């Protein structure tokens, strides 16, 4: 075995806590991104989600700092990354950028899995390694989503009649 079962158990415990906090890090405003008729209002909700994620991650960092028994293995950064990932995925779904989402998800997996395998062969077989490589994969995925979402929409842009993204549109 490259990684002992107790490392997987500790990593799973960590991810279960972070997933609960991370999915509500945007204070569920991420669900409202799909609702506005124009993209400018939806973009404001996306920015609100980002600031909420930063606030929740800061609060999480303070709690972990004062309670060392929680094992401060970057719970705060994982909350931030999880919340931003959810918001960006919903933003890209609103703008029908499904191919970009698929490529971002695949890139995250292509970063995390080989990193885990390589570090395990080098003897780094702890739960921290599993957590760190998953964070690296999610960060790579978010970077691709941010690059595609960096355009600020105009106030008159409506989601009705938005073109569906094609493979050739991804490279533009």
Report the predicted TM-score, pTM, of the whole model to 2 decimal places: 0.77
pLDDT beyond 50 at 171:
no
Find the Cα–Cα–Cα–Cα dihedral 129, 132, 133, 137, rounded to 10°. 170
pLDDT tens digits, residue range 130-157? 888 988 999 999 999 988 666 555 554 4
Taking the C-alpha atoms of residue 47 and residue 39, their distance in angstroms, rounded to an integer, is 12
pLDDT tens digits, residue range 82-115? 889 999 999 999 988 899 999 999 999 999 999 9
Closest CA to 137 of 105, 101, 104, 111: 111
Asked if 49 and 87 count as a contact pair (C-beta separation under 8 A), the reply is yes
Asked if 84 and 54 count as a contact pair (C-beta separation under 8 A), the reply is no
Which of the pair, 162 or 132, is modelled with greater confidence?
132
Residue indicated by tokens 């004062």: 66
Find the Cα–Cα–Cα–Cα dihedral 41, 84, 16, 4, rounded to 10°. 160
pLDDT tens digits, residue range 17-62? 888 888 888 888 999 999 999 999 999 999 999 999 999 888 887 8
Exposed / middle / buried, residue 77 (Cβ in 10 Å: 0-12, 13-18, 19+): middle
């Amino acid at each position: 075995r490259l990684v002992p079962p107790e490392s997987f158990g500790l990593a799973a415990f960590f991810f279960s806590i972070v997933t609960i906090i991370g999915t509500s890090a945007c204070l569920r405003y991420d669900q409202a991104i799909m609702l506005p008729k124009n993209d400018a209002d939806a973009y404001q909700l996306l920015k609100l989600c980002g600031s909420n994620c930063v606030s929740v991650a800061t609060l999480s960092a303070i709690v972990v700092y004062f309670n060392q028994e929680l094992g401060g293995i970057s719970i705060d950064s994982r909350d931030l990354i999880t919340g931003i990932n959810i918001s960006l995925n919903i933003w890209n779904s609103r703008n029908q950028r499904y191919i970009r989402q698929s490529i971002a998800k695949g890139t995250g997996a292509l970063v995390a899995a080989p990193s885990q395998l390589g570090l395990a062969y080098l003897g780094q077989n702890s739960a921290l390694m599993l957590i760190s490589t998953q964070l690296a994969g999610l960060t790579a995925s978010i970077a691709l989503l941010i690059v595609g979402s960096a355009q600020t929409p105009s106030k008159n842009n409506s989601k009705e009649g938005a073109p569906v993204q094609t493979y050739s549109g991804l490279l533009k």
